[in-house]
Structure 1
Amino acid sequence: MKINLQTFSLYRSFGLVLLFFSISGVMAQEALRPNIIYILTDQWRGQALGFLHQEPVITPTIDSLAKQSLVLTQTIANYPLCSPSRASLFTGMHPIKTNVYANVNSNSTAFGVELPNNAITWFDVLKQQGYCTAYIGKWHLDSPHAPYIPTSNNAEAVKWNEFTPPSRRHGNDYWYAYGTYDNHLRPMYWDNDADRNAFHFVDQWGPEHEVDKAIEFLQDSTGRYRTKGKPFSLFLSFNPPHSVYKQVPFRYVEPYNRIPLEKLVDFPAVNAADTKWGQFYRENIRYYYAAMTGIDDQIRRLLQAASKLGLADNTIIIFSSDHGNSLGKNGQESKNTFFEQSLHVPFIIHWKNHIPARVDKTLLFSLIDVEPTLLSLLGIQNPAKTDGHNLSAFFLGKKQTGPDAQYFMGHVAPGNINSGFRGIRDGRYKLAFDQVTTYLFDYKKDPDDLHNLANKKPNVVLRLRHKLEEYLLKNKDTFLIDKQ
């Protein structure tokens, strides 16, 4: 479904983002190695980008950025759930090896599910290499413990939110973050020097406030954040468009009120209006898109600030998400499934005069590949052997053969590593096993995963199964495919 959204006037000034690519810097670049601005969203599915014309979402800033960037449309999350995905993204390691194989909360505390102190993240490496490092926003990699932080998401039986002490910040010098907290209109944070009990709330939409803090970091008028002469890494981790969906400023919702509801739900995988998940989709899709549009607006502010500070020529910009979101499609509430809406994430990377701009629809890129690829782009020797692939040559426009498959897992119960599902995705088919059923989808012909072909294509199942078994063995994953 193609929808022309150019008639909307919400961002008549969105072209200003081109300043990031065209205005000469007023400040000399301070380092030969590039700076990094990594923008991670939560629960933003890869299909929902305006320039792809797959969904009626308004993202003019990202659309403009994409024209100047490498866009990888086949990118997936190896474990489409917040904590496991982030641990693999930061380390380049399989979730079994990070021990973050479930969400970090009080249910998983007894099983040690949190990012280990001795894990090597790219933040640790950048710090060691002389980068000034900053982390702003959601972290969700520290296990809650008593006495629990008195936030609303710690008031029920399952506790979620936790402080990250300096010893567990993995090389990040500047810290303005929280564990996980879903009140987007009144978020909470720990500032850099705050102790566990000294968190604070802010009466401002989370992404807007976090971009305010990011701009402060870039400007660094007081010298608090950065050392002159050193490159920087700024990781900006937005919680939206994660639920609660309706917690988004009305100014971003209003454009979607102009679109008839039938156009917002005209997708094969959206259930009928009189079903539970069909109703859920219809109640939330405007707000889900609105959060994306709002984040797009905040990215515009961030890029304009970076341009005015003369950072355009020597900064790598990355936009991505930790996982996607079904939002009721395929009868699934959100993430942690093997359906494309859950697995598929955006991935856009810009580096002026280094990474050729193009849209690639074939590279089987995964979030686990980010860490080794990014360090290689920076010319840094990776001190750790990772499970991800170094695809930096491909990024730079050189000839490089990419992976022939992507591997994924999910829905693992704490304490039962052999539960959940495992799967493999090649250039056309996706095979998944859970504890009951074998699934095979031709995602090229059936992008909504509506038709299970496992019984019709046994040869494809057998071929992909062998590859999956080899991968499980290599990564010491004891999941039993034949248990069902």
Structure 2
Amino acid sequence: MNRPNILYIMSDDHSSNAISCYHSILEKVFQTPNIDRIAVEGCRMDAYCATNAVCTPARASIMTGQYGHINGVKTLDDDWNPQKGPDLAKLLQNSGYQTALFGKWHLGCVPEGFDTFQYLSKGNGKEGEQGDYYDPCFQDKNGTIRQYDGYVTDIITDMTKKWLENRDKERPFFVMCHHKAPHDFWEYHKRHEDLFQGVDIPVPDSLFEDRKHRSLATRDFGSSVTPRSRIRSLYCDFCRDDYVTGKLEGTEGMNFEEKGIAAYQKYLKDYLRTVAAIDESVGQLINTLEEDGSLENTIVIYTSDQGIFLGEHDYQDKRWSFEESLRTPFLIRYPKEIQAGSVCKALMANIDVAPTLLDYAGIEIPEEMQGVSGRKVIAGEEKEIRDAVYFRYWMHLAHNHDNPAHYGIRTKRYKLTFYYGLPLDATGAVQKETPPGWELYDLERDPQELHNVYEDIEYQEVCKRLKVKLENMKKFYRDTDEEYPVLLERYKRSK
């Protein structure tokens, strides 16, 4: 059996809107030709979702095919234990694959199942796992920490290229190339500093969203939760004298909205400059495989751990379950069975990644995995693998974040979210009260999610149907909240 190689390239916080083949408003001023090549010669997935739009839980779900309440990684403070439950890398390694990892790991543990690895670190423990843009430190399989000179994207690329060039050509490989970029704060390479000179970045329609349509749970409200500024916290960061890419100048005398637009312009230009280096990296890796003749037998994937807001809804960062954060780019090339230029609109979740890759590799999918293989929908042989994606944001358990805790489902047309807004400590006790609320969006009529229709008479039957679906999915995935009686009571009262 000639099993396919797998090159899995994942960036951190890369929005679909910042990849030109997804055709957002940014396509007019920014192109990603090398990333786009994967879509041109393969498939672009339009409804691939993170099940928890924050880095560490998303990465754990990719490796395990499980939700965070099963694999133990619900928040940024949780460490994954790869000895408990399924591990994608181990399964591939045990079946004869050469395995390697280079770049950001961010799972609070030493990777297992990889023949070799170098992951971003500043020392022992989880604190250093973000890494630095310049002269970053990496930890290897021997526990040795070494600092490398140069720019982090280029270093990770060079590590991956070197491994590809020196691998055993007689055995299939699985390599994860995990970029730090475009995670904040966006320190671009100097070769890209003139990118966007004299260019105005298009502004999203929702940059100054009027949130009156929303539930109380997600509006700017009261003193119990710090109100969000419409110009975002980034404005204050950008105005610091020591900001990493230089202070935002010339905003004196600007009004509120003008400052917001100035901050947006700096944010997007810095962000996209870091993406430019990633696009170059993708081109180099594809060329390496093309030159040694192995590209046609290699599954090439480009994705992110989740999406991120680029000013939409007047947000930066992720952590919400609006489309820009929840929906995640996923491009895949494998000409032996994936049609060039195809677009897959089937719902797929990050818990489906491990089962899908195991399917390609001819390895039995463990029963403990909650995801399913998307191989047939990617190939166009089936229309759907699921009719909804269940998602949940758990960060209230670990941090005193303003983002309200929530869960919900996304179908092809609708998204229903319950914001239960109960920051809980480790014992399940309430830390402080925040308003609960329901939101429903008709993604067909309102793809930008600017009209919460939960209270609309027209959608009451839809609400009832989706609530039944939500409850059934919570039971199916064994996430019934029995350990949080206060939460369950709030859910019952909210109905």
User: What's the TM-score, normalizing by structure 2?
Assistant: 0.78
2:84 alignment counterpart:
118
CA distance 1:449–1:131, change in 2 (3 Å): same
1:11 alignment counterpart:
none
1:45 alignment counterpart:
15
3-state DSSP class of the match of 1:234? Answer: strand
CA distance 1:433–1:357, change in 2 (3 Å): same
Measure, in 1, the Cα distance between the counterparts of 2:119 and 2:321: 30
Structure 2 unaligned segments of length 5 or more: list them. 122-128, 210-229, 232-255, 421-435, 482-487
| Partner amino acid, structure 2, of 1:482 | K
Measure, in 2, the Cα distance between the counterparts of 1:444 and 1:251: 41
Correspondence list, 1:79-478, <5 A: 79-104=52-77, 108=78, 113-142=79-108, 164-165=109-110, 169-178=111-120, 180-193=129-142, 195=143, 198-220=144-166, 226-227=167-168, 229-245=170-186, 247-260=187-200, 263-270=201-208, 274=256, 280-360=263-343, 362-414=345-397, 420-435=405-420, 436-456=436-456, 457-478=459-480
| Partner amino acid, structure 1, of 2:49 | I
Query: Is the Cα contact below 8 Å between 1:181 and 1:187 reproduced in 2?
Result: no
| Partner amino acid, structure 2, of 1:425 | R
| Partner amino acid, structure 1, of 2:492 | D
| Greater alpha carbon shift after TM alignment, 430-439 vs 277-286 | 277-286
| Partner amino acid, structure 2, of 1:38 | Y
How far 1:390 sits from its partner (Å)? 1.6
How far 1:437 sits from its partner (Å)? 1.0
Residue 482 of structure 1 pairs with residue 492 of structure 2: yes
1:28 alignment counterpart:
none
3-state DSSP class of the match of 1:178? Answer: strand
3-state DSSP class of the match of 1:186? Answer: coil
Structure 1 unaligned segments of length 5 or more: list them. 1-30, 143-163, 221-225
Deviations 1:403-456 (A, max 9, x none): 11111111433369xx82101011111110112110111223322221111111
Measure, in 2, the Cα distance between the counterparts of 1:361 and 1:308: 29
| Greater alpha carbon shift after TM alignment, 332-341 vs 421-430 | 332-341
3-state DSSP class of the match of 2:18? Answer: coil
Aligned length: 410
Measure, in 1, the Cα distance between the counterparts of 2:344 and 2:41: 16
CA distance 1:32–1:336, change in 2 (3 Å): same
CA distance 1:320–1:270, change in 2 (3 Å): farther
| Partner amino acid, structure 2, of 1:468 | L
Query: Is the Cα contact below 8 Å between 2:204 and 2:311 reproduced in 1?
Result: no
Query: Is the Cα contact below 8 Å between 1:404 and 1:427 reproduced in 2?
Result: yes
| Greater alpha carbon shift after TM alignment, 128-137 vs 465-474 | 465-474
For the aligned residues, what is the CA RMSD? Answer: 2.2
Residue 75 of structure 1 pairs with residue 45 of structure 2: no
Measure, in 2, the Cα distance between the counterparts of 1:119 and 1:277: 46
| Greater alpha carbon shift after TM alignment, 90-99 vs 250-259 | 250-259
Deviations 1:43-94 (A, max 9, x none): 0112222123213232011122211011111111111100100111111111
Query: Is the Cα contact below 8 Å between 1:67 and 1:358 reproduced in 2?
Result: yes
How far 1:278 sits from its partner (Å)? 5.3
| Partner amino acid, structure 1, of 2:182 | P
CA distance 1:439–1:347, change in 2 (3 Å): same
CA distance 1:333–1:63, change in 2 (3 Å): closer
Query: Is the Cα contact below 8 Å between 1:190 and 1:199 reproduced in 2?
Result: yes
CA distance 1:407–1:210, change in 2 (3 Å): same
CA distance 1:41–1:311, change in 2 (3 Å): same
Query: Is the Cα contact below 8 Å between 2:57 and 2:74 reproduced in 1?
Result: yes
3-state DSSP class of the match of 1:203? Answer: coil
Query: Is the Cα contact below 8 Å between 1:181 and 1:188 reproduced in 2?
Result: no
Measure, in 1, the Cα distance between the counterparts of 2:81 and 2:454: 36
CA distance 1:361–1:372, change in 2 (3 Å): closer
Query: Is the Cα contact below 8 Å between 2:76 and 2:395 reproduced in 1?
Result: no
| Partner amino acid, structure 2, of 1:441 | Y
3-state DSSP class of the match of 1:471? Answer: helix
How far 1:478 sits from its partner (Å)? 2.9
